[in-house]
Every structure is written in structure tokens, then in C-alpha cells.
Amino acid sequence: MKGWIGVLILALFLVAVMTGQAPAGKDLGWAFPTAAMVVNKPPMPEKEFEGQLTIPGTGKSFTMSQLEDLNAPPDWFPAEHASAPRVVTDGGVNKGFACGSCHLMNGLGHPESGDIQGLTPEYFIQTMKDFKSGKRKDPIRMTAIAQATSDEDVAAAAEWFAKLKPPPTPWIKVIEQNTVPKTYLGQGRMRFIDPDNKSTEPIGNRIIMLPMDIKTARLRDPRPGAGFNAFVPVGSVAKGKALAET
């Protein structure tokens, strides 16, 4: 769990660098993302995603339409976790967004949704309350989801995600470098290397998160190796460590 905390600290540090000092008062708009422009450009040939699809180690298969159904997320390895509450697996209880569709059935999710695996129930529940009240904002989904989800379902999801165990190897690998490939936001609000532009650009003060393997990420594979590389400016890890120890 300490590894994930370190990544979170690093991310918070870089956001602080990007935004400067937080403005005084109660306006917390600086702390939340705005809606992003998504480009309809496949990062790899779509023929790779035709028909029944599977991943190593499971006897299950799904079509791409099933994999992208936010109402019913794929559970590739149901024996690896306790039976999930309905709100995690069935979006019918809260306007069509099952928790596991974005956060995956491992709770680690993708960069656009966030890691909720292992959060304490208290923190999870308070976060949902803040989304519901508007104190915390998400212009894409979480505000509407929180408002549509009952307190009982929130508590059930909180308890379930809290009990998930971290994988044996990091889901996110931090890589320091000052230049990165040209990228864009595409399918699933994931960031991909632009297949039509092979040039690079300065990373600046950004965190650029790219799937370790595009196909396994799009198939929502929950196992290590299907996670993400987080490219950060050189020196970020040392700065994050110093900040954490201050």
C-alpha cells in the first residue's frame, strides 16, 4: 500500500507545481479537472478487437461491446475476490454506472477514474458525500453517480473495495524523463501515443500516463502488466520524497 501512497503524493506535488499556490477562500475549483476533449482515433487497428476476446488465465470471453458496457463490467477472475455487491457489478442501481466498469474489479482503475482499492470505508463514504453535495466536483460522471447512489449501496461498495488486496507488482510504474511522445485522449478517456505523429515534446510540469499494453488495457485486464506507465519530469520522485518527509 505504501507504493500507492507514494504515487499519490507525487501526483499531488506535481499538481501543486502546475497550479501554483491554491487560491485563498473556499473556491476549490483549481483542485478538480475540467472536461477534456476526446479524439476519435483508434490507437491500434480495430480488427484486434473483433469477435470474442479473452486474456490469459481465464476461461471467460467477451465482445468489445460487452467490455465497454458501463452497466455490466467484465469480471475476468471472479474467484480472486469476494462476491461483489450489486452496485459494483450492475449499473441498474445508479443510472447505468457500475463501480467496476471504470474502477475495474481490482479497484485500481485507469488514470481517468482513479484507484479506490484499499481505501478505508470512512474515506470512501466521505468522498461520495462530497461528490453528492458538490463540495468535490467531477464534470464527467462522479457527481451524477453519487447523487443517484443510495447510502446503503455506497457503504456496501466501500466495504468491498476496502478488502481488495494490492497486486504483487505495481499497477503504475513511475518513469522520469523530460521528453515524452505526442499523445492524445482517446477511447475510454485513456491517453495514447499518437500513431500519426511520432515526434516528442517537453513534458513540462505534466504527468503523462500511458497504458503498458494498449490491448490489455482496453480489455480491462485487472492483472499486473495491464497497468500504466506514469511519465514525470526528472527529479519528481526526489521532490515527492522530500515533501512526504517534511
DSSP-derived secondary structure letter, 43 = S
Helix (H, G, I), strand (E, B) or coil at 14: helix
Reported as a pLDDT band with limits 50, 70 and 90, residue 84 is: very high
What are the pLDDT digits (tens) for 122-167?
A: 999 999 999 999 999 887 889 999 999 999 999 999 999 999 999 8
Nearest to 214 by CA among 52, 41, 79: 41
- Higher confidence at residue 19 or residue 26? 26
Second CATH level (architecture) for the domain 58-163: Orthogonal Bundle (1.10)
Q: What is the dihedral of CA 175, 179, 181, 186, to 10 degrees?
A: 70
Percent of the chain clearing pLDDT 90 (strictly above): 74
Reported as a pLDDT band with limits 50, 70 and 90, residue 34 is: low
What are the pLDDT digits (tens) for 196-245?
A: 999 999 999 999 999 999 999 999 999 988 999 999 999 999 999 999 99
Tell whether the model's pLDDT for residue 67 goes beyond 90.
yes
Per-residue pLDDT, 224: 84
Percent of the chain clearing pLDDT 70 (strictly above): 85
Lowest mean pLDDT among 27-41, 62-76, 170-184, 215-229: 27-41
Helix (H, G, I), strand (E, B) or coil at 214: helix
Per-residue pLDDT, 5: 43
Long-range contacts of residues 205-213, Cβ cutoff 8 Å, at least 24 apart? 205/14, 205/17, 205/18, 205/233, 206/14, 206/18, 206/180, 206/233, 207/11, 207/14, 207/231, 207/232, 208/180, 208/183, 208/232, 209/111, 209/172, 210/183, 212/173
Q: What are phi and psi of 153, to 5 degrees?
A: -70, -40
Report yes or no: 4 and 118 within 8 Å, Cβ to Cβ: yes
Q: Tell how many helices (H) and how many strands (E) occur in the chain.
A: 9, 7
pTM over 0.75: yes
Per-residue pLDDT, 187: 85
- Segments of the chain assigned to CATH 1.10.760.10: 58-163
- Higher confidence at residue 27 or residue 115? 115
241: its cell numbers: 520524497
- Residue 238, judged by CB atoms within 10 A of its CB (0-12, 13-18, 19+), counts as exposed
Tell whether the model's pLDDT for residue 7 goes beyond 70.
no
Per-residue pLDDT, 233: 97
Reported as a pLDDT band with limits 50, 70 and 90, residue 17 is: very low
Tell whether the model's pLDDT for residue 37 goes beyond 80.
no
Q: Can you tell me the mean pLDDT for 45-63?
A: 96
